[in-house]
Amino acid sequence: MPDKAVFLDRDKTIILPNGDNYIYRIGDFYIPDSYITALKKLFDNEYKLFVVTNQGRVAKGYMTEEDVTELHEYLNDIYKDHGFQIEEFAYCPHNPMGHVSPYNVVCRCRKPKQGMFYDLIDRYDIDVTKSWMVGDTERDIVPGNLCGLKTILLRTGYYIGPENADYIEDDLASAANRILITKN
């Protein structure tokens, strides 16, 4: 039987930057307690949790894939201490505007393309009709819609209007509540 899932963007969705800085490494962000509670609720309600994030600054030389992996492992250690985990962190290190080879290419995984989503949906046998995408930009919402997921746009990012999301919520905590009260 296929599983239900919540696909989550990373920056400004499950973690928030310290100040106006971009999140490169551990120490560049914080996690509100309400976000940990929200993810735990989703996990306890049998949603598989996946992070799908563009990390094109690898292609620009600002960070390495090891930096990305270290941050993801750090996050999962925190989550495991609270009784849940992210099933998988999927990320795209590519950016055609970058200068670091082999990452400076056009790829099938960089959002708003759906490559990361289709890979996870197929590999984990996800029922898209019972699953969600939560993110802070239109770049997150587009692939969710194209994959048949219900979508939630958070106001934690560069929100400028209704966009194409099924729902708009203030933050991850309110998005989790929306998912749990909405009938599939």
**Which positions are catalytic?**
9, 11
35 pairs with which residues across the strands? none
Determine the 3-state secondary structure of 151 from DSSP: strand
Q: Which amino acid is at 77?
A: D
Q: How many CB atoms lie within 10 A of CB 31?
A: 15
Alpha helices by DSSP H, listed for the chain, are: 33-44, 65-81, 115-124, 138-146, 172-181
Q: Which amino acid is at 33?
A: D
Calpha distance 161→175 (Å, rounded): 17
